[in-house]
Amino acid sequence: MRRTLTRRGFLATVAAAGAAAAVGPPRALGRPAIQAPRPGPILTRPIPSSAAGERLPLVGLGSWITFNVGDDPAARDACTEVMRAFFAGGGRLIDSSPMYGSSQDTIGYGLAKLGHPPELFAADKVWISSGEKGPAQIAASLQKWGIPRFSLLEVHNVMSWEEHLPALFALKKAGKLGYVGVTTSEGRRHDEIEKILRSQPIDFVQVTYNAADREVEARILPLAHERRIAVICNRPFRRGELIARTARSPLPAFARDIDCESWAQVLLKFIVAHPAVACAIPATSRVDHVRQNIGASYGRLPDEATRQRIAAEVAKL
């Protein structure tokens, strides 16, 4: 029987977040990227349901909007450079969905150009109302990525999850899929997410969480932690709004204490310091930004008091 986690008890575990985020060596890929020296090795967090103890770096790479560039060769090459910098910085998880236009094709293009990095943790979604058509969509997605299997497949926005989840569990059991999950965004369908977390043996849940959107702290994050379900956080910058809000505000003094060089890193560390969070998935089409983002996977993480200060600073902006 699972132990019930109280909010107070749950917050107490935040102090141990740094210990939970163990370290592993970043692996360079392809030509070396020029980047500032990292404060120590990359921070990773275990996937709770992984029997093999698989771990993920704290920052992944989203592809919503930024990688939807059609068949524009210049833009595809630019996205490939973003992926190159991401892998060079030690990143692993790339997230996409059939809903994201040409993003899957762009990822496939980049992976082929980069020689299919072995460290890739390929996270995609099923996004179709018909359960019967799910396998065909997954096959099409695999073809676009140019890979034989996904590390993680999630039911996008919990659409027809009752039909899709059994099929995904069957794929996992057959060894054709690493992990199974569900997603939502921007605070929607939390009751349904909670129901799934309580009733289904999923490995991952993806929700919106950032210094301004903290609704999931109340129920979803503690429940996921209790049920040993890894949490991926989307919209870490609220689609750029938080970055824009912080643009004219000097970096707070405490940023140095948590090894942050930018507001982007402060905002990301606010998220990934939460012990229930496996990783955040900021999306970008710029190499300098992805280097900055992956930089939040290094150095010291904020304790709970500092996280509250970050949230308070953001609320003031």
Partner 1 sequence: MSEWWTYRLSNFLLFAPRTYFRLFELYNAAIWPAQILAFALGTGLLVLLRRGGVARGRAIAGLLAAAWLWSGVGFHALRYATINWGAVYFAWLFGFEAAALLGLALSRRAAFEKPADGAGRIGLGLFLFALVVEPLIGPVLLGRRWRGIELFAVAPDPTAVGTLGLLLLARVRRRWLLMAAPVLWAALTGVSLLAMEARDWWVAPAAAAMALAAAGRQGSRRRVPGAAWRPAAR
Is the Cβ of residue 52 or residue 247 nearer to partner 1 in the bound state? 247
Q: What value, to the nearest 5°, has the Cα angle with vertex 305 and ends 299 and 309?
A: 90
Chosen residue from 45, 55, 76, 189 binding partner 1 by CB under 8 A: 189
96 and 107 in contact (C-beta within 8 Å)? yes
Instruction: Mark residues 269-288: x for contact with partner 1 by CB under 8 A, - for none.
Output: ----------------x---
The secondary structure of 163-185 as a DSSP string is HHHHHHHHHHHTTSEEEEEEE--
**Residues numbered 34-63 forming contacts with partner 1, rule: CB under 8 A:** none
Q: How far is the CB of 15 from partner 1 (least distance, A)?
A: 34
- What is the phi/psi pair of residue 93, to 5°? -85, 120
In the chain, the largest separation of any two C-alpha atoms, in whole Å, equals: 54
Instruction: Mark residues 238-257: x for contact with partner 1 by CB under 8 A, - for none.
Output: -x------------------
Instruction: Mark residues 200-239: x for contact with partner 1 by CB under 8 A, - for none.
Output: ---------------------------------------x
Is the Cβ of residue 100 or residue 204 nearer to partner 1 in the bound state? 100
**Residues numbered 166-185 forming contacts with partner 1, rule: CB under 8 A:** none
Q: How far is the CB of 234 from partner 1 (least distance, A)?
A: 13
Is the Cβ of residue 63 or residue 297 nearer to partner 1 in the bound state? 63
Q: How far is the CB of 64 from partner 1 (least distance, A)?
A: 8
CA distances from residue 27 to 18, 39, 57 in whole angstroms, order as listed: 21, 15, 12
Is the Cβ of residue 55 or residue 189 nearer to partner 1 in the bound state? 189
Q: Is 187 in the site for partner 1 (CB under 8 A)?
A: yes
Q: How far is the CB of 305 from partner 1 (least distance, A)?
A: 32
Q: Is 188 in the site for partner 1 (CB under 8 A)?
A: yes
168 and 159 in contact (C-beta within 8 Å)? no
> How far apart (Å, rounded) are the C-alpha atoms in residues 92 and 102?
21
Alpha helices in the chain (DSSP H): 7-12, 17-20, 73-88, 103-113, 134-145, 161-173, 190-199, 220-226, 241-246, 263-272, 287-294, 304-316
> How far apart (Å, rounded) are the C-alpha atoms in residues 126 and 67?
18
Is the Cβ of residue 16 or residue 244 nearer to partner 1 in the bound state? 244
**Residues numbered 63-102 forming contacts with partner 1, rule: CB under 8 A:** 65-66, 68-72, 75, 99-102
CA distances from residue 84 to 34, 43, 69, 92, 152 in whole angstroms, order as listed: 11, 19, 17, 11, 21
Summarize as ranges the residues that interact with partner 1 (CB under 8 A). 65-66, 68-72, 75, 99-102, 186-189, 239, 285
